[in-house]
Amino acid sequence: MPNPLLLDSITLLATTPSGEDPASTFIRLLTVFLLAMWVGFEVITKVPQRLHTPLTSGSNAISGVTVVGALVVAGSLTSGFGSLFGLLAVFLAMINVAGGFVVTHRMLEMFNPKKK
């Protein structure tokens, strides 16, 4: 039998704490999504073409943020398969995160030779 505390936590995850209905949750997240998209367009159009490769690898690292989701689903360990998927996701997302940030740093160092 699963632990009651554990079940409560799943309830929290499946609905939202305030008892928001699913449609409202969707709209709330859609709001965040569209506003962040807008901010993204504004900020990224100002990046010079010379830095587009580090921009790509850096944004690549940030897309590894899915590791946060992976940690939450893997950490709950509710079912064998579920946690296996979660752990695999943690592993893959961390390759993405570490690889992205390190390689971006390596490239940016080359653009700033004085620091060598």
Partner 1 sequence: MSSQAWINLAYLTASMLFIVAFKLMSGPRTAVRGNYLGAAGMAIAILAACFEQPVAASVAKNGIWPLALLAAFAAAGGGIGATMARRWPMTGMPQMVALLNGFGGAASMLVAAAELTSTHTIARFGEGTAQTAAQTSLGSWTQFGIAIGLACLIGSVTLTGSLVAFAKLQELPRFKKPWDDPNRQWFNLGLGIVVVLLLWAMFSNPQPLLFLLLVLVAAALGATLTLPIGGADMPVVICLLNSYSGLAAAAAGFVIDNSVLVIAGSLVGASGLILTAIMCKAMNRSLVGVLFGGLGTTATVDADEVYAGKIKAAETEELAMVLEQADRVVIVPGYGLAVAQAQHAVRELADVLEARGTTVEYAIHPVAGRMPGHMNVLLAEADIEYEKLREMDDINPTFPETDVAIVIGANDVVNPAARTDPNSPIAGMPILDVDKAQTVIVVKRSLSPGFAGIPNPLFAADNTLMYFADGKKALIDLTAAIARD
Identify residues 9-28 at the interface with partner 1 (CB under 8 A). 9-17, 22-23, 25-26
CB of 8 to partner 1, least distance (A): 7
Site residues for partner 1, window 84-113 (CB under 8 A)?
A: 85-113
> With contact defined as beta carbons under 8 Å apart, do 11 and 18 qualify?
no
Write the interaction track for partner 1 spanning residues 62-81; mark x where CB under 8 A is met and - where it is not. Answer: xxxxxxxxxxxxxxxxxx-x
CB of 27 to partner 1, least distance (A): 9
As given in the structure block, the two tokens for residue 96 are: 């993405």
> With contact defined as beta carbons under 8 Å apart, do 59 and 113 qualify?
no
CB of 20 to partner 1, least distance (A): 9
Q: DSSP character for 65?
A: T
Dihedral sign for Cα 66, 71, 77, 78, please: negative
Q: With CB under 8 A as the rule, give the number of residues binding partner 1.
A: 99
